[in-house]
Amino acid sequence: MPYKLDVTYNEIMNLYTARHRDSDREGIKRAYQYACEKHEGVKRGSGEPYIFHPMRVARILAEQGFESDYLMSALLHDVVEDCDVPVSEIRRLFGDTVAKTVDAVTALSDRDFGENKPSKKKRDSLSDVKLQENMTVKALYVKIADRIDNLSTISGVKEEKRMPKAKHTQEILIPMAERAKAYYYVDILEDLCFRIEHPGLVGLMEKIRDRICAENRLATGKSLLAFEKIFDHKRKSPDKMLEPYRRNIIEFRQQDRSMVSLYRQITREMRNSNELERIFRKDNFAFYDLFLIVSNDLEEEGTPIRPHDLFFKYFELALSKCGFYIVDYKKTTHEDSTYFLLADEMDNLYRLFIRTQDDYNRYLHGDIIDDSAFFSGIVNEIEPRDTYRPKIKVFRADGTAMIIDKDSTVLDFAFHIHSDLGLHFKHAHLNDDKTFLPAYTRLSEGDTVFIIQDENVKPTFSWFNYVRTSRATHHLVRYFYRLYGSGNDAPSV
């Protein structure tokens, strides 16, 4: 479904009040009016009024039932950074919680450094450290919603700025969302990044998918309607025998499968790019995802049952009679859930996910339920999945093979072996060449890498320019967090 650019205040409030009867409507209204005042006359690169951006961020959160503090913070999230509003004013007008959230997602600017203004690269690096140091649950979801809107509207941004935004999302924000187990947003962010990084491939995949879907529109349309009639508890049941079970269903919805999800499957099955047309077929790929949200307390005639028991009852009484059959039963990428792979009479495939209401809420909002700083202390070492990045095989000095991201540098390689080796990297040799190679030297398939370290060598902020992988980036963030958090002077570039 195309991203909806149009947004109104009433739309946000209708979404919010539908979930929250005892709601702080006045607080949201004041935040909206304040944001409108501060962003008045400002336009985004696309030419639209800037206020539409924070409004869409608030809408993303309202759609998923977040509370008023989240929406107020979303509406105000750019006023400190872009409008020279002090955090103290946000605290005075909207309270400490909103002020802390807005402050956490506000990037550092030159005014935060006085006369000793750092380079933009150094300032951005310190902003990432600040983000992780002050990250709370509220700030995380506001930042995620902010990034979803930024990536969804990135066509209005210059091309040279798109890739860095996607890379930052993959290496900083997605790992945060993964740590919070907010997999719903991880999936969205990964798909948006994939589209930015591989526009040509996405275009080809969409072309093939759209052709297949068009050729099978009658069959899939009939099947999707059948699923809706069977599972939508608001509709009249097609079979009276289903009535006792329909009270267990909370919600049923369907959507197109994401491009990055399709690509993960492609990479598992495709040996080279020329095989895309051969394997990208309707009987090999499910292009539609179905979600069945069921009650936490499932029962059949007073006896507790599991979600899958409910599915098999529906399969026996309705799905099989409509010509559907079970092809497979699999775990999701995050292994937080499972799905049934179903096929219709024309061999079109569908992924059916069954989650209890609690499980679905965890999928949306993660496992963290308090608002303490969950990145407190030293940032944990995180390695995001980045499953769609091309890989190469290289070798350590002892001949041990290692798989690493394509375009990785020798410094990435050092961090891949051990953090200390990366932090004290001096130079490297490749293969039989004894030339001293700098940290930014790119690796190629089959290289044998020799790393020379020196305990006297310390990282500088320029090292962020030399690494490509999430692991190396997070080791550097962790290192600078220690310095920054302890009050020491940050190293110069």
The pLDDT value given to residue 224: 96
Look at residue 315 and tell me if it is in a domain: yes
CB of 27 closer than 8 Å to CB of 68: yes
- Separation in Å, CA 276 to CA 201, 204, 213, 333, 390: 10, 9, 16, 21, 16
- Separation in Å, CA 165 to CA 108, 155, 157, 214, 486: 17, 12, 10, 34, 29
Look at residue 24 and tell me if it is in a domain: yes
pLDDT band at 80 (very low <50, low <70, confident <90, very high): very high
Do 431 and 471 belong together in one domain?
Answer: yes
Judged by phi (left if over 0) then psi (alpha if -120 to 50, else beta), residue 75 lies in: alpha
Nearest by Cα to 128 from 478, 486, 487:
478
For CA atoms 149, 155, 161, 165, give the dihedral sign.
positive
Judged by phi (left if over 0) then psi (alpha if -120 to 50, else beta), residue 386 lies in: left
Cβ within 8 Å of residue 402, ≥6 positions away: 393, 394, 395, 396, 413, 416, 417
**Could you report the per-residue pLDDT of 396-428, keeping only the tens digit for each?**
988 888 888 888 999 999 999 998 999 999 999
The pLDDT value given to residue 227: 94
Out of 157, 182, 210, pick the residue that ends a domain: 157
Least confident of 81-95, 293-307, 318-332, 413-427: 293-307
Q: Which residue has the tokens 């999701």?
A: 332
Look at residue 164 and tell me if it is in a domain: no
What is the CATH classification number for the domain harbouring 111? Answer: 1.10.3210.10
Do 146 and 30 belong together in one domain?
Answer: yes
What is the CATH classification number for the domain harbouring 235? Answer: 3.30.460
Do 361 and 395 belong together in one domain?
Answer: no
Do 254 and 150 belong together in one domain?
Answer: no
Instruction: With a cut of 50, say whether residue 220 has pLDDT above it.
Output: yes
- The per-residue pLDDT of the chain, averaged, comes to 84
**Could you report the per-residue pLDDT of 332-377, keeping only the tens digit for each?**
776 667 889 999 999 999 999 998 888 888 888 886 544 444 433 3
Look at residue 175 and tell me if it is in a domain: no
201: helix, strand or coil: helix
Catalytic residue among 24, 48, 63, 81: 81
Do 279 and 352 belong together in one domain?
Answer: yes
The pLDDT value given to residue 233: 76
Pairing of strands 391-395, 286-294: unpaired
Return the H-helix or E-strand segment holding 146. Answer: helix 137-152
Do 360 and 431 belong together in one domain?
Answer: no
Do 242 and 336 belong together in one domain?
Answer: yes
Do 328 and 445 belong together in one domain?
Answer: no
Look at residue 187 and tell me if it is in a domain: no
CB of 255 closer than 8 Å to CB of 1: yes
Question: Of the segments 91-105, 260-274, 463-477, which one has the largest average pLDDT value?
Answer: 91-105
Out of 125, 157, 189, pick the residue that ends a domain: 157
Least confident of 94-98, 262-266, 271-275, 487-491: 487-491
d(CA 345, CA 219): 8
What DSSP character marks residue 154?
G
386-389 own/partner pairs: CB under 8 Å, 24+ apart: 386/170, 386/470, 387/264, 387/267, 387/333, 388/190, 388/194, 388/197, 388/198, 388/260, 388/263, 388/264, 388/267
Do 397 and 352 belong together in one domain?
Answer: no
Do 77 and 35 belong together in one domain?
Answer: yes
Q: Which two tokens stand for residue 11?
A: 């739309």
Q: Which two tokens stand for residue 41?
A: 């006359």
Domains in the chain: how many in total? Answer: 3
Out of 128, 157, 186, pick the residue that ends a domain: 157
Catalytic (active site) residue 347:
no
Look at residue 381 and tell me if it is in a domain: no
Look at residue 104 and tell me if it is in a domain: yes
Host domain of residue 56: 9-157
Q: Which two tokens stand for residue 379?
A: 């940032």
Look at residue 377 and tell me if it is in a domain: no
**Could you report the per-residue pLDDT of 224-251, keeping only the tens digit for each?**
999 998 998 777 666 677 777 888 899 9
What radius of gyration do the chain's Cα atoms show?
Answer: 25
Instruction: Mark out the alpha helices in 169-275 (DSSP H runs).
Output: 174-179, 183-197, 199-215, 217-231, 243-246, 259-269
Catalytic residue among 11, 63, 67, 82: 82
What is the CATH classification number for the domain harbouring 411? Answer: 3.10.20.30
Do 397 and 345 belong together in one domain?
Answer: no
Do 128 and 216 belong together in one domain?
Answer: no
Catalytic (active site) residue 445:
no
d(CA 327, CA 186): 27
